[in-house]
Amino acid sequence: MGLVIVLFVFITLFNLLYKQLLLDPGNFFSIVTDSMVLRSIWLTLYASFLATLIAVVLGIPLAYFMARHDFFGKQLLEAFIDIPIIIPHTVAGIALFSLLTRKGTVGSVFENLGIVFQDSLWGIVVAMLFVSYPFFVNAAKEGFASVNPNLERVARTLGASQWRSFYNISLPLASPHIVSGAIMSWARGISEFGAVVVIAYYPMIASTMIFYRFNTGGLQESQPIAVLLILICFLTFALFRYFSRKRRR
């Protein structure tokens, strides 16, 4: 019975891939080789990569600290980290735009530094970071939590400093979770539309491009881009599954 739902996903995607790749490959290739489309896809992958990089650098210390310590307000902090998952995407966009618009308090500070968010790469990166970092932090936290703290304690008694025991023991043992969290966060960034479209309609990321083409040219023009994105996502996802499986062993 539950398979109905899986079948539904399968048919939905198969229907699209079949139509494009087998019934009308000519149209597919002409549209996906359009340089505007390719540029938007490249921008999406690149912006999401930057967002993930920031999430990894800022997230690892936070995840490690939260996995190892109990403190007053920890649950509140966990709640705060999860908030972006459940906030409607356009709401997140409005919130970010309100803060970072050139007229806003924070936005004007950044403008003086030469960084503009509205309709720019940085706006896209910030929107993607906002919606994707909880996925990274939670995965990394789970990774560190799965490492028995006694292993680090033993390393300490063996003569390793706190930093060294982290670097030799916890980090490598948590790395499958960290890598799969980073891929998840990257994929989440690629999939975002609502938050990005509010803060930066231009330059167009792939989701926006699909939406734009759908509104101007209907399915005919939007389906090929959708198919290309699905193929890219499958690739990322295969990577993700590979690391998840490794993690479970």
Partner 1 sequence: MISVTHLNNDWDGIFSLKDISLDIKKGEYFVVLGPSGSGKTLLLELIAGIHIPDSGRIDIGKKDVTTESPEHRNVGFLYQDYNLFPHYNVRKNIEYGLRVRKMSKEFIDSRIKELVDIIGIEHLMDRDVKTLSGGEQQKVGLARALAYRPDVILLDEPFSSLDENTKHALIHEMKDIHSREKATIIHVTHSQEESMLLADRIGIMMEGRIVQVGTPEEIFYKPTSVDVARFVKIENVWEARVVTRDEEAMLLRIGDKELVAPPIKVQKGSEVRVIIRPEDIILGHGQVTSARNTFLGKVVSLEKCGFYYMVRVDCGFPVVAAITRRSVDSLGLEPGKNVEVLFKATALHVIEK
Q: Judged by CB, which is closer to a copy of itself: 158, or 231?
A: 231
Map the footprint of partner 1 across residues 51-70, applying CB under 8 A.
Answer: none
Min CB(169)–partner 1 separation in Å: 6
Tell whether the torsion through CA atoms of 22, 25, 27 and 28 is positive or negative.
positive
82 binds, among a copy of itself, partner 1, none (CB under 5 to 8 A by kind): a copy of itself
Task: Report the residue number, 155 or 204, with the smaller CB distance to a copy of itself.
Answer: 204
Say which entry of partner 1, a copy of itself, none residue 164 contacts (CB below 5 to 8 A, set by partner kind). Answer: partner 1
- Please tell me the count of residues contacting partner 1 according to CB under 8 A: 18
- Residue closer to a copy of itself (CB basis): 113 or 157: 113
Nearer Cβ to partner 1 (26/70) = 70
Contacts of 129 (CB under 8 A, 6+ apart): 51, 54, 55, 189
Q: Looking only at residues 131 through 190 of this chain, which bind partner 1 when binding is defined by CB under 8 A?
A: 148, 150-151, 153-162, 164, 168-169, 172-173
Q: How far is the CB of 148 from a copy of itself (least distance, A)?
A: 19
Give the pair of three-digit tokens for residue 165.
């025991």
Residue with tokens 């690629």: 190
Q: CB of 71: closest distance to partner 1 in angstroms?
A: 14
Closest approach of a copy of itself to the CB of residue 176, in Å: 16
Contact pattern from residue 8 through residue 47 relative to partner 1, giving x for each residue in contact according to CB under 8 A and a dash for the rest? ----------------------------------------
Structure tokens at 139: 């995965």
The smaller minimum CB distance to a copy of itself, of residues 25 and 154, is found at 25
Backbone torsions φ then ψ of 73, nearest 5 degrees = 90, 5
Contacts with partner 1, residue ranges (CB under 8 A)? 148, 150-151, 153-162, 164, 168-169, 172-173
